[in-house]
Amino acid sequence: MILPARPEVGKERYLSHSKGIGGKLRKIPEDFNVEEIIGNNDKSHWIWAKENNSGKHSIVKITANNWDTHVLIKELSRKLRIGQKAIGFAGTKDKRALTTQYFSLMANPSEIKNLNIENIAIEFMHKTIKPIRLGNLVGNKFIIKISDTKCKKNDIEKLTDELKDGFPNYFGIQRFGAVRPITHTVGEKIVKGDYEGAVWDYLSEGDSEISGFEARKHLKETKDFKLALQEYPHNLLFERQIIGHLTRKKNDYIGALKQLPESLSKMFVHAYQSAMFNRIIDLRIKEGIGIHKPLIGDNVVPVDIYGGPDQRKVIEVTKLNQKKLEKRCMEGKAWVVGLLPGVKSQYTKGVQGELERMVMSDEKIDFKDFTIDEAHQLTSLGMYRPLCQRINNLKWEIDNEGCPRFSFWLHKGTYATSFLREIMKCEDVRVY
């Protein structure tokens, strides 16, 4: 097998074959509505700490219109005069959307209730002992409209029927930056120890449609950080933090990266892992191997108590258990998983393992490279992720203009755009 080049992010192979309906997501933020699910079906169980008035963390529900999660955290930190590490959240959300998610804040309820932030509604829930951590949710509910298209009922029926057993669990374009898809290239340079290159990618890469394009272009030409601090728009908060550091400590690129919130810095490394994971799915589809049914040597994870994949229980597929595991996968009670490479990763056996080795070799990296000695907080241990996911409680309708509106929910970590790109099949990834 000749290994093709890494596909451009957002342009990986489709699983379905029917023609897409085209269109555009997020014509206005309200077209993309997402809300976190913290319980499972009728269970009242919360997967993070329950109410306890003696706790120092306040649980709040925040509905935000057109807010980046990291920028929102920075604003909450400023308004409440608390450190960003005193703010817990379960997952990042797309900026151009209407989002409802939960946060834990080390702040008094009275201070929280007095907050006034534009396009933000904050509801105090209760006090608790433990903060919310990344991943502390079951999934997300979506209501999404596709604009600028005219489709018929039959068009969507054909596509959803092809995806009834699941869609490719690609990381969506938002993982890499919908307008400026560079997070994975920044992460690649961090993993390979090229911190200077990582900083320059973050500060200067992007086309003419991005915010601060002229300032980025000028910095790339002049390498003048003091001038850049005057030219970069103030809404580019994180870029300005890096530039400010480099005006004080020339050539301290690892120190510059440490100016960013830890959650954002980790996202760069995770984005690089995500690009490699997407590449594995793309290769399995290309080779006709499939992503729903397990092959001998594949790894499978069972369902957890919330109905999602249990990453702690990895089962190797053998001749003895293949049929049983295949049945479980087709029932939606188990998943074939792929590797998000990290320090503690091990290659899968069988065909999947061969693909992993080819990709790692082509990327010129090893598992040990995910140990970031100069910034230990960015070290990644690695994990597994399902190759496909099912759409849950899917409902849809077409309005008078021929634009469909979908409602469904997905397990945590699954991208709605990875399902919708199979429906739309657009060349321009910016429409997602």
332-358 mean pLDDT: 97
**Fold that domain 183-262 belongs to in CATH:** Hypothetical Protein Yqey; Chain: A; domain1 (1.10.1510)
Please provide the average confidence, as pLDDT, over all residues in the chain. 94
Q: pLDDT digit string (tens) for 95-142? A: 999 999 999 999 999 999 999 999 999 999 999 999 999 889 999 999
Write the pLDDT tens digit of every residue in 26-70.
999 999 999 999 876 544 345 666 788 999 999 999 999 999 999
Q: What is the pTM of this model?
A: 0.93
Architecture of domain 48-136: 2-Layer Sandwich (3.30)
Averaged pLDDT, 193-208:
92
Question: Per-residue pLDDT for 189 more than 60?
Answer: yes
Domain locations along the chain? 48-136, 183-262
Residue 293 pLDDT > 70: yes
Catalytic machinery residues: 94
Average pLDDT score over residue span 189-207: 94
Task: Tell me the pLDDT band of 220, cut-offs 50, 70 and 90.
Answer: very high
Q: What does the H/E/C string look like for the chain? A: CCCCCCCCCCCCCCCCCCCCCCCECCCCHHHEEEEEECCCCCCCCCCCCCCCCCCCEEEEEEEEECCCHHHHHHHHHHHHCCCHHHEEECCCCCCCCEEEEEEEECCCHHHHHCCCCCCEEEEEEEEECCCCCCCCCCEEEEEEECECCCCCHHHHHHHHHHCCCCEECCCCHHHCCCCCCCHHHHHHHHHCCCHHHHHHHHHHCCCCCCCCHHHHHHHHHHCCHHHHHHHCCCCCHHHHHHHHHHHHCCCCHHHHHCCCCHHHHHHHHHHHHHHHHHHHHHHHHHCCCCCCCCCCCCEEEEECCCCCECCCCCEECCCCCHHHHHHHHHCCCEEEEEEECCCCCCCCCHHHHHHHHHHHHHHCCCHHHHCCCCCHHHCCCCEEEECEECCEEEEEEECCCCCEEEEEEEECCCCHHHHHHHHHCCCCHHHC
Instruction: Please state the rounded mean pLDDT for residues 249-278.
Output: 95
